[in-house]
Amino acid sequence: MKTPLPSYLTAIRDYLKNREPDIWKWFIENRNEKKLVESLRFQLLTSTYRLDRENESEQPLYNVADEIRETLGIESPITLYQLQEQSEANASMLSLPNEMHLIFYGQIRTNLSSLELKALFAHEMAHYLLGTNENNEFQIVDEILTALSHDSYCGDTYLASLRLFNLYTELYCDRVALEMLHDIEPVVSMLVKVRTGLAEVSAKSYLKQADEIFAQVPATGFQSEGFTHPEIFVRTRSLKLWSTCRGDTKKVDAEIARIIQGEPKLDGIDLLDRDRLCGLTRQLIDGFLDSKELQTDLTLSHAKLFFNDYTSPENECEQNIVFSDFPVSDTSLRDYWCFVLLDFAAADHDLEELPIKKSFEIAQKMNIADRFAEIAQKELKLRKRDVQKYLP
């Protein structure tokens, strides 16, 4: 069984490999896997009760686990554990080289039906599948993002990327469970039971509840607020989209991205959106400097403050730039575009009215002219009537 990976996971993997090759190489060469494995084994021994495969009472549980493992094509053996401390009902997978170690928390084993237990096993084993996929590359991605998100020099961008990596990982594992069981209801009821701790839930009722939630989501989308796991109604919505997609996977992936990430925002931006934002910023500068008369020493020097390798367009390129497609729904991002335009409007006073006129023309095409007028009037100390003449 081959479940498609979310495009975000492969995109962030490719970004780190291609755009951060030195970091990628360092993490590959400096992984002390042996020491880590020894530490994790000791933690397992001291914090859990190991369920004995040879114990007659535990054999049915191992039989289910082996059935799922074989169906998923995993050759590595699995060992089951019960956490010693009292905790909420849950489970987690500890992946070691060629070994799976699944830990039960609280009363999760007794809360789940046989089908829900299969869904749980499939979900957790999917974590192992992902971590060992393609020479452990996604495990390396996790390690890089986790390490750099704690580095004060890297800012919040890696933390935002780690959050999305976590969320899409959980959705991937949910999808594996769905494709394993070919039935959405036990997967949904398993997720609800794990989240709520209830012993009895209705999957049909929660599917209806999730539909009611998304009937009220605005057209601009919904952004998950989870850090390690999406909200249960988001996961349920994603499962329903997959179960009813009928082959239109691109549309489904776009809808899921809309409810996981929402509209692009400047605050909390991840590595991929930062990269896209840089590309759009360069396009915006190209659009402003598309005529020779605007390409003065001062405006070009200012462009190099954004991109030190910047070179001006050879000919008019504005017609190739679709300014109306620039993301502007977020306030912080809308103001960012306005201030970039304002920078160039004020970069060379010898150009007189030409730069401000050009900035207003672009702002109108981006549908941010009113906001740009407010900022320009305040920052450039313009009179209201001076601003009004540039507006349609």
Bridge-based pairing state of the strands 78-83 and 90-96: unpaired
Q: Where is the domain boundary, 196, 226, 261?
A: 261
Element containing residue 156 per DSSP (H, E):
none
Residues 229 and 290 both lie in one domain: no
Backbone angles phi, psi at 191, to 5 degrees: -60, -40
* Nearest CA among 309, 312, 268 for reference residue 292: 312
DSSP 181-222: HT-HHHHHHHHHHHHH--S---HHHHHHHHHHHHTT--TT--
Q: Is the same domain home to 137 and 68? A: yes
266 lies in some domain: no
358 with 236, same domain: the answer is: no
In a domain, 281, yes or no: yes
The answer to whether position 2 is within a domain reads no
Of 208, 204, 189, 210, which is closest to residue 111 (Cα–Cα)?
189
Verify that 210 and 317 share a domain, yes or no. Answer: no
Q: What pLDDT score was predicted for residue 309?
A: 93
Q: For residue 219, what pLDDT is reported? A: 58
Pair (168, 275) in one structural domain = no
113 and 39 in one domain?
A: yes
Strand order in the sheet with 90-96: 48-50, 78-83, 99-105, 90-96
Q: Token match 């986790």: residue?
A: 146
CB 202 within 8 A of CB 134: no
- Are residues 253 and 329 located together in one domain of the fold? no
Q: Give the angle subtended at the CA of 224 by the CAs of 222 and 228, to the nearest 5°.
A: 170
3-state secondary structure of 256: helix
Are 223 and 279 members of one domain? no
Does some domain include residue 96? yes
Domain that holds residue 99: 7-261
Supply the pTM of this predicted model.
0.91
CA 378 to chain centre: 37
Q: Using CA atoms, how far apart are residues 293 and 23, in angstroms rounded to an integer?
A: 43
By the 10 Å C-beta count (0-12 exposed, 13-18 middle, 19+ buried), 42 is classed as exposed
Asked whether residue 299 is domain-assigned, the answer is yes
Residues 321 and 245 occupy one common structural domain: no
- Residue 87 near residue 105, CB atoms below 8 Å: yes
pLDDT at 55: 86
Is residue 187 one of the residues assigned to a domain?
yes
138 and 233 assigned to the same domain: yes
Residue 93's pLDDT is: 94
Strand runs (DSSP E) across the chain, as ranges?
A: 48-50, 78-83, 90-96, 99-105
| Virtual torsion, Cα 124, 130, 135, 136, nearest 10 deg | -70
Query: Which of residues 208, 232, 261 is at a domain's end?
Result: 261
The answer to whether the beta carbons of residues 321 and 283 sit under 8 Å apart is yes
pLDDT (tens digit, 0 to 9) for every residue of the chain, 392 residues total?
Answer: 688 899 999 999 999 999 999 999 999 888 767 777 888 889 999 999 999 998 888 899 999 999 999 999 999 999 999 999 888 889 999 998 899 999 999 999 999 999 999 999 999 999 999 998 888 999 999 999 999 998 877 778 999 999 999 999 999 999 999 999 999 999 999 999 999 989 999 999 999 999 999 988 765 567 888 999 999 999 999 999 999 887 777 888 888 998 998 888 888 899 999 999 999 999 999 999 988 999 999 999 999 999 999 998 876 654 578 898 899 988 999 999 999 999 999 999 999 889 999 999 999 999 999 999 999 888 888 777 777 777 76
Say yes or no: 348 and 304 in one domain: yes
Q: Which residue has the tokens 């796991």?
A: 229
Number of folded domains in the chain? 2
Rounded Cα distance, 10 and 133, in Å: 11
Q: Which of 230, 261, 292 is the last residue of a domain?
A: 261
Distance CA 288, CA 37 (A): 56
Distance separating alpha carbons of residues 243 and 180, to the nearest angstrom: 12
Could you tell me if 242 and 277 lie in one domain? no
How confident is the model at residue 1, as a pLDDT?
Answer: 61
Q: Which residue in 380, 392, 335 sits closest to 356, CA to CA?
A: 380
Residue-level length of the chain: 392
Structure tokens at 313: 């367009």
User: Rounded distance, CA 266 to CA 46, Å?
Assistant: 45
Residue 206, domain member (yes or no): yes
Note whether residue 286 is domain-resident.
Answer: yes
Q: What DSSP letter does each residue of 77-145 carry, written as one string?
A: -EEEEEESS---SEEEEEEETTEEEEEEETTHHHHS-HHHHHHHHHHHHHHHHHHHTTTTHHHHHHHHH
